Chain A
Amino acid sequence: MATPLTVPLPQLQRDTRGRERRARLVPLALLGPAIAVTLLFLYYPLVFIVRMSFTLADTFLRPTGAVTTISNYVAMADRYLPNLLVTLQLASLATIVDLVFGVPFAYVLVRKVRYRNLVRAFMVFPMFGALYIAFGMRFILLPGGPATPLFEALGIPNTSVLYSLPSVVFAMSIFTFPFMVMNVGTALSNVDPTLEEAAACLGARPLQTFRRVLLPLTRAGIVAGALMVFGWSLGTFAEPLLLGSVNEQKTLAWTLYLKGVIQLDYGLSTAMGVVLLILAFGVTYFSLRYSRGALVE
């Protein structure tokens, strides 16, 4: 015969109490490694560079103690304001290009396209990295390269294309395009297509339907996408370096690499890093507030 139920009552009670305590500890233990790695290799280093950006150039390791100063930020505002402005300019231009081309793309993709897996397969190419995009574009735009006949036909002097602002912005917007499409597409697929049909039946022209029906319903997704693209574009590195002129190469990410790793001016470099970080975090905060953050709940 099978063993009968022989569990005495008191033991059962003790068991459940222990179980409860364990049930509270288990999730902490499970989350532990993830939180530890994130704290050790992301949050601690970030706090470290914030502290470092407020110390005078080489007093950080002095036994007498570090000298607290805001001179790094003053120097940044003094001499490196153009770098910040170029970074913001490139990111905004890339965001605008992505908005103009990404919203129609997302609309067609969600409403009309049945071969969506194919589109997804193509859309992973930008994801492999801005480096390959910039490298490929550099070859394409080279005077005498594959795009030369096109520029000749358009009447643009061929030598002015590579190392210019538009080519940097173009490469940046290719890299971030899928982010925009992802956000806008998610918002659009939550809108019932019958609403558009109703608007059309009531006599609205396509543009009116877009402005009065679609735009209000997808505004959150569009804003979230634009902010996300902007935040990602702030850290642009390879595109200005490989495709831009001296002016575009002043972007903060590249300047902080030069200052921090090559010239070892840690104070100034970390100040730039902190500015970049604050900008990216602010933008991301609003982006996530606008997008559907309902993954966890």
Chain B
Amino acid sequence: MTASTASSDTSAVRAPGPRSIVGRRRLTSRRMVDVVSHGYIWLCLFVFVTPFLALLAYSFTGPGGTYAIENFQYVLGSFGENLWWSLRISGLSIAIDLAIALPAAYAIVRYPVPGKRLIFSVLSLPLYVPGAVIGLSLVITYNFTYHLTTSMWGLVFGMVVGTFPLMLTPIIVALKDLPIAFEEAAECLGASRWTTFWRIVFPLIGPGVSAGLMLAFIIVFNEYLVTLFVHPSEITTAPLRIFNLVRTAGLLPTTAALAVTMQLISFASVLLFFRVFGTRYFKGTYLI
């Protein structure tokens, strides 16, 4: 201890100049690393939003490079029906998702089910099946077995199967975080299982449930691939309309306006969720 202070003292006395230079250089090199790494993060974030920003800019162009708000009026007018279908399909799908995910998550976490891991894998496998394969298999089965090709429900159940694991995972995480003592206390005080669940457990896992709802909503709302395969001819959701228009009609500012509207609605739901609940309920799902 004394030796080190002595040596640093002598060095300070002998050569104050070089030492301070070394100190400053080290500081600047560390700062350089910081600047570069944060710059890298911002560059990546910029790349993430670039397609959106480009569409946003494009959606405001009119004939002859004018500033056109009419494109967005067009979204509500001509594309209104597609938006309405998207919202209806999303609403129905996430309602069914919730209705089947909630009991399943409760059973997986709170009951000693044999083969729990296997059941969870079986239930969450749909996430990893390519959308085109889900679409193809569904359209063929709907044709030959279920006869659902002309019904909205075929589309809805296709969406449910694809997004149901996204709903299941956050609910499982939330339930695992919830100490069982609350439920035991409620039961000791005479509440039935049913009352305990709806009055105690459900409010406490609310954030997890909302995380699942939000994830499933975003995915269903923007889904075009499975929809392309299984949609009945009279139902065209907004993402599917965008896909068809980009493929057949080329680039149009009105299509860009619809895409921007879709992304803004999705982003608003994400931001709303982040404001209310924070981000920790996304653990184990898409966002770290």
Contact = CB atoms under 8 A, between A and B. Distances in A.
Contacts of B47: 174
Contact of A48 (B120, B145, B222, B255): B145
Nearest to B122: A38
Give the interface centre of A45, A48, A117 by most chain B CB atoms within 10 Å. Answer: A45
Contacts of A128: 218, 222, 262-263, 266-267
A231 B133 CA distance: 13
Contacts of B58: 139
A37 B287 contact: no
A16 to B, nearest CB: 15
Contacts of A135: 51, 55, 242, 246, 255-256, 259
A33 interface: yes
B131 A237 contact: yes
Interface in A115-156: 116-117, 119-129, 131-140, 142, 146
A139 B54 contact: yes
Contact of B270 (A45, A124, A242, A288): A124
B52 A37 contact: no
A204 B38 CA distance: 23
Contact of B40 (A37, A104, A174): A104
Contacts of A281: 125, 128-129
B48 A284 contact: no
Contacts of B136: 49, 256-257, 260-261, 269-270, 273
B119 to A, nearest CB: 7
Interface string B254-288: 01100100110011001100100011001010111
A296 B172 contact: yes
Interface in B29-51: 34, 37-38, 40-41, 44-45, 47-51
Interface in B82-113: 96, 99-101, 103-104, 106-108, 111-113
A213 interface: no
B125 A42 contact: yes
A33 B164 contact: no
B130 interface: yes
Interface in A11-37: 23, 26-31, 33-35, 37
A288 B166 CA distance: 16
Contacts of B246: 131, 134-135, 138, 242
Contacts of B45: 119, 122-123
A37 B242 contact: no
A295 B243 contact: no
Given A235-B133, A242-B246, A37 B51 contact: no
B51 A34 contact: no
Interface string A244-273: 000000001110110011000010011001
Contacts of A181: 288
Contacts of A238: 224-225, 243
A33 B270 contact: no
A139 B55 contact: yes
Contacts of A217: none
Contacts of A132: 51-52, 55, 222, 242, 259, 262-263
B251 A138 contact: yes
B173 interface: yes
A276 B51 contact: no
A193 to B, nearest CB: 15
Interface residues of B, number: 95
B62 interface: no
A52 B140 contact: yes
Contacts of B225: 237-238
B113 A280 contact: no
Given A132-B259, A273-B137, 10 more contacts: A34-B101, A38-B126, A105-B40, A127-B219, A135-B51, A136-B53, A136-B54, A138-B246, A235-B130, A276-B132
A38 B120 contact: no
Contact of B51 (A38, A44, A137, A297): A137
Contacts of B128: 231, 280-281, 284
5 contacts: A49-B137, A117-B274, A127-B219, A131-B222, A276-B130
A155 B259 CA distance: 32
Interface in A48-62: 48-49, 52, 60-61
B55 A101 contact: no
A79 interface: no
Interface residues of A, number: 92
Contact of A33 (B38, B104, B108, B242): B104
Give the interface centre of A46, A121, A135, A270 by most chain B CB atoms within 10 Å. Answer: A135
A181 B48 CA distance: 13
A198 interface: no
A121 B274 contact: yes
Interface in B124-163: 125-126, 128-141, 144-145, 157-158, 160-161
A120 B168 CA distance: 21
Contacts of B49: 122, 125
A41 B271 CA distance: 32
Contacts of B282: 120
B108 A253 contact: no
Contact of B139 (A26, A126, A134, A260): A260
B262 A38 contact: no
A93 interface: no
Give the interface centre of B57, B99, B225 by most chain A CB atoms within 10 Å. Answer: B225
